[in-house]
Amino acid sequence: AYHVGWTHASSLRSGQSVFSSLAGNAALPPEGAGLQMTSKYGSGMGVLWDGYSGVHSADLVPELMAFGGAK
């Protein structure tokens, strides 16, 4: 997720997220901040828990893992 600090710098700076310090790639995400997955076909996605309230939830893990396993 190295692109996050550059590509999403404006939204990181404007939000009040624990990930605000990632703007400009000034810091690494905290350990256990989320997950990244890639399908066997090369498509992938990443999820940051508690990035912004209500966006992602750990409750989605089983569904996301099932999606990744099916692809």
CB contact at 8 A, 30 and 18: yes
Distance (Å, whole) CA 7 – CA 54: 21
Mean pLDDT, range 58-66, rounded to an integer: 75
Residue 1 has pLDDT above 60, yes or no: no
pLDDT bin (cut points 50, 70, 90) of residue 24 is confident
Q: What is the domain count for the chain?
A: 1
Count of beta carbons in the 10 Å neighbourhood of residue 54: 7
23: β partners: none
Percent of the chain whose predicted confidence (pLDDT) is above 70: 58
Query: Could you tell me which of 38, 52, 39 has the C-alpha nearest to residue 8?
Result: 52
Residue 57 has pLDDT above 70, yes or no: no
Higher pLDDT, 2 or 60: 60
Mean pLDDT, range 9-34, rounded to an integer: 71
- 57 is in which domain, residue-wise? 4-70
How many residues would you count in the chain? 71
